[in-house]
Structure 1
Amino acid sequence: MNIFLALVLLFLMIIIGGERGAVSIMALAGNIIILFFSIILMAAGFPSLLLVLVAGAAVCYNSLFYQNGNNPKTRAAFFATLLVMLLLILPIYIITWRAGSYGLNELQISEDDFMYYYDTDISINMLHVAVFVCVFSTLGAVIDTALSVTSSVYEVWTHKKELTEKELIFSGYQVGKEIIGTTVNTLLFAYFGGSILLFSYVRIQQYNLEIILNSRFLFQDVAIMLSGAIACLITVPVSIRCIIWQIHHNKTEKNGRNS
């Protein structure tokens, strides 16, 4: 059934997206390969914190440049995404460490399969793995937000090159305000939609509110959702600054060639 759904997705991407859809499929395949090798390296003992930066940069490069080409918009979005990753990795590490929410949660540990059939001593730093999962889970939303902001500001500038830097910043924030609400809602409902069964189980077991609020299973999912929302909010001003820097850089190059 998974193969059938995947074939339907590929068929619709090609029929509706045309050539661009085919390129998106290739980019998606590339990202899956990057993630696959990241898991292999992580299992082999490669440092997860370094791996998240390398794999994250590879996914950003593949998603932005392969699908959209090398232009000021994609370069600015690429730099903005990397900066947001670097800004968030330390706070995510500290919060995850202080919360002690890494590793298997209470529901996973209680399953018979984990207790009797699987070896839980896998010699991997689960704190670093948790940081990898949290940062990587926010990457798609950050890339989408960054490219939306940089593309909009750049298009405004190409049609009105007389606009000042302050006016371009204002235009970027207007775009950010329009997209951030739908992005946060998407992250919120993606989490709740995937956790309905979990909440039903918790309700049937009649756990009290204190246990639920202090549980690992709740924190792990909510932390990813909130980290994604925070990352998208931070991405807006960072993307604006990056695209304005690219615009100034293009102006300098053109003036240098003309002179």
Structure 2
Amino acid sequence: MIELLVLILVALLVLIGGERGLFTMISLIWNLFVLAVLFVLMTWGLNPLVLTFIGCLLICSGTLFYQNGKNAKTISSFVSVVIIMLILFFFIYVMAYQSHTGGLNELMKNDDMIFYLSTDIHINMGSIGVAMILIGLMGAIIDTSIAVSSGVYEVYNNNRHLNGKELMKSGMSIGGDILGTTVNTLYFAYIGEALTLFVLFKNFHYTLSEIINSKAFFQEVICIVFSAIGCVAIIPVTAAVISYLLTNADKFKRYLDEDELFIEKK
């Protein structure tokens, strides 16, 4: 069934997306490869946080630059994603370690399969918890950032007289339009994944207090909250970066591929 689903996905990407769909598929394979290498290196004892940042940069650059080229939209999105991840890293690190979110939760410890596995793996599980949140955060904010930068790009491409302040206002407006659906997408994605968890809570007769203080529940909630915070915070950052880049195009022209936007203005 997995092979069938993968074939359907590949067929739809090629038939509907055409060349862009093919690039998307290659980018997806690249991202899976990076994650696989990331996990292997973690098991070798390398620092999970350093590996996660390097992996996120590789995934982000592959997703943005390979599929869409190096232009104002993708560079603005990449810079914005890095800024938000660096800002939120401190809060994620403190929250994860203070709450001991890493490692096996109480439901995993009661799983029969765990009795056949060794938990002495010599890896800092607190760092693994932070890495999990960072990877989820990156996936959420890339979509929001590229949506805002693409919108502002099109606005400026059709209204070259707009200044940075006006473009920033347009970016905030675009971000506000997509904010509700983005947060809801995150919410339902995580809730759908956690349905089994809620069934277990019901069968084990957890009280509301026990659910809120459950490690299994918190591990899901912290990913939702930080991803939502990142999606909100990246809107003004992306709007500011793309507005500055577009209105100061001549300063950055040498860093960009050939782009019709940077032809001499009419």
State the TM bucket, normalised to the shorter chain.
over 0.9
Aligned counterpart, 2:118:
119
Question: 1:231 aligns to what?
Answer: 230
5+ long unaligned stretches in structure 1: none
Partner of 1:9: 9
Q: Percent identity?
A: 38
Give, in angstroms, the shift of residue 70 of structure 1: 0.8
Distance 1:191 1:253, change over 3 A: closer
Alpha-carbon contact 2:31-2:59 (below 8 Å) kept: yes
> Counterparts of 1:244 and 1:13 in 2: how far apart (Å)?
32
CA contact (8 A) 2:164 2:247 kept: no
C-alpha distance in structure 1 between counterparts of 2:40 and 2:252, whole Å: 43
Between stretches 221-230 and 246-255, larger displacement belongs to: 246-255
Aligned counterparts, 1:174-213, within 5 A: 174-213=173-212
Structure 1 counterpart of 2:86 = 86
* SS of residue matched to 2:122: coil
Give the aligned partner of residue 172 of structure 1.
171
Displaced runs of 4 or more, over 2 A: 251-255
Quote how far apart the aligned CAs of 1:253 are: 5.9
* CA RMSD between the two structures: 1.6
Kindly indicate whether residue 36 of structure 2 is the aligned counterpart of residue 42 of structure 1: no
With structure 1 as the length reference, what TM-score do the two structures score?
0.95
3-state SS, counterpart of residue 248 of structure 2: helix
Instruction: After superposition, give the CA deviation of every residue in 1:136-178 in whole Å (9 maximum; x if it has no partner).
Output: 0121221111111111111111111111222111100100001
**Is it true that 1:129 corresponds to 2:128 in the alignment?**
yes
Structure 2, unpaired ranges of 5+: 254-261
User: Is contact 2:144-2:234 (8 Å) kept?
Assistant: yes
Q: Secondary structure at the match of 1:217?
A: helix
* Equivalent residues of 2:245, 2:252 under 8 A apart: no
Q: In the TM superposition, what whole-angstrom CA distance separates every residue of 1:77-133 from its partner, at most 9, and x where no partner exists? A: 11111111111111001001111121100000011111x200011000001111111
1:159 equivalent to 2:155? Answer no
Aligned-residue offset at 1:16: 1.0
Question: Are positions 1:103 and 2:103 aligned together?
Answer: yes
| Offset of residue 248 of structure 1 | 3.2
Distance in 2, matches of 1:225 and 1:253, equals: 36
Inter-partner Cα distance in structure 2 for 1:76 and 1:234: 14
User: Shift of the alpha carbon at 1:249?
Assistant: 3.2
CA shift, 1:252, in A, is: 4.0
Q: Which amino acid aligns with 1:123?
A: H
